[in-house]
Amino acid sequence: MKWQRMHKARANCVACPVLSQGLCGALNDQEALRLSSVSWHRRFSAGQIIHAEGEKPSYFCAVMTGVVKLMKSLPNGDQQIVGLLLPGDFLGRPFGGDSRSSAIAATNVRLCSFPRAVVEGLASESRVVERWLLDHVSDELEKAQDWIVLLGRMSAEQRIATFILSVMRSTHFEDAAAPKSCDEILIELSLSRTEMADYLGLTIETVSRQIARLRERGVIKVGASRTMIIRQPEALEATLEAALPGEGPKSTVRI
CA distance 153 to 32: 43
- Quick one: which of 188, 169, 166, 168 has its CA closest to 65? 188
Judge contact between 87 and 39, C-beta under 8 A.
Answer: no
Considering the rule CB under 7 A, would residue 190 count as an interface residue with DNA? no
**Of 180 and 254, which CB lies nearer to DNA in the complex structure?**
254
Binds DNA by CB under 7 A, chosen from 4, 37, 181, 225: 225
Give Cα 135 to chain centroid, integer Å.
Answer: 16
Q: Which stretch binds DNA (CB under 7 A): 13-21, 97-105, 143-151, 154-162?
A: 154-162
**Of 31 and 198, which CB lies nearer to DNA in the complex structure?**
198
Query: Phi/psi at 146 (nearest 5 deg)?
Result: -60, -40
From the list a copy of itself, DNA, none, pick the one residue 82 interacts with, judged by a Cβ distance below 5 to 8 Å according to partner type.
a copy of itself
**Of 31 and 198, which CB lies nearer to a copy of itself in the complex structure?**
198
Considering the rule CB under 7 A, would residue 193 count as an interface residue with DNA? yes
Query: Phi/psi at 13 (nearest 5 deg)?
Result: -95, -10
Q: Give the footprint of DNA on residues 200-219 (CB under 7 A).
A: 201-209, 211-212
Site for a copy of itself, rule CB under 8 A: 47, 49, 70, 72, 74-80, 82-83, 93-96, 100-101, 104, 124, 127, 130-131, 133-135, 137-138, 140-142, 144-149, 151-153, 194, 198, 200-201, 240-244, 249-250, 252-255
**Where on the phi/psi map is residue 88: left (φ > 0), alpha (ψ -120 to 50), or beta?**
left
CA distance 62 to 139: 16
